[in-house]
Amino acid sequence: MHRATADLKALGIEQQALKIGDLAPSFTLFNQDHLEVSSSDLLRQGPLVMSFFRGHWLPYCNMELEALQGINSEVRALGAQIIVLTPELERYTRALHTRLKLTFDMLTDLHLKTAEQFRLVFTLPEYLRDLYKSFGNALDRFHDEPEFRLPIPARYVVEKQGIIRAADLNADYTVRPEPSKTLRQLRILTG
């Protein structure tokens, strides 16, 4: 896993991803309850905190969801919303959403179409696929696609006009931004 992270960093995936000042791509995806959610509708209501999530099987992702849940009321008080995008199918997001008692939407980014637009997607190397499978992480089943593709972890703050105002991403799946940093970024944005 350390080798795969080093390889990703060497490929420059972090530098290729969308950055501060870029226009966030528009999307319409289904949430955990199979309701359609549009980024343009959300942005009309205020800024977005967008987190790209790998899956229910990764403890670091689950800890991030819990951390985001911990700041959700403050995010809402600042007029913003949290959304999580994952390649996982709705049956997995619905179960996790319920188990963690989340109060923000988890959106299924089927076949990583939105993550691709943010330039966050990579294919798991062959040498890790069998290891993932041995842990029960059947990404092909969880994502309904044969390729073992994932997004690198990323959190974006997007202003109402769709411009990215904060971008925290790291090819190392164990490194996630502190929730307090996201709140500071939002406070600066909302003045």
**Mind listing the pLDDT tens digit for each residue in 90-127?**
999 999 999 999 999 999 999 999 999 999 998 887 77
Whether 143 maps to a domain, the answer reads no
Task: Give the whole-angstrom CA distance, residue 130 versus residue 17.
Answer: 28
Domain with 12, as residue range(s), is 2-122+151-190
Task: Give the whole-angstrom CA distance, residue 52 versus residue 65.
Answer: 10
17 class by beta-carbon count within 10 Å (0-12 exposed, 13-18 middle, 19+ buried): buried
Task: Give the whole-angstrom CA distance, residue 138 versus residue 134.
Answer: 9
Whether 144 maps to a domain, the answer reads no
Residue 65 pLDDT: 96
Provide the CATH number for the domain around residue 106. Answer: 3.40.30.10
Give how many domains the chain has, as a whole number: 1
Task: Give the whole-angstrom CA distance, residue 169 versus residue 176.
Answer: 8
Contact 121, 137 (CB under 8 A): no
Residue 33 pLDDT: 96
**Mind listing the pLDDT tens digit for each residue in 2-19?**
777 777 777 888 899 999
Model-level pTM? 0.91
Whether 127 maps to a domain, the answer reads no
Residue 129 pLDDT: 73
Whether 117 maps to a domain, the answer reads yes
Average of per-residue pLDDT across 138-164: 90
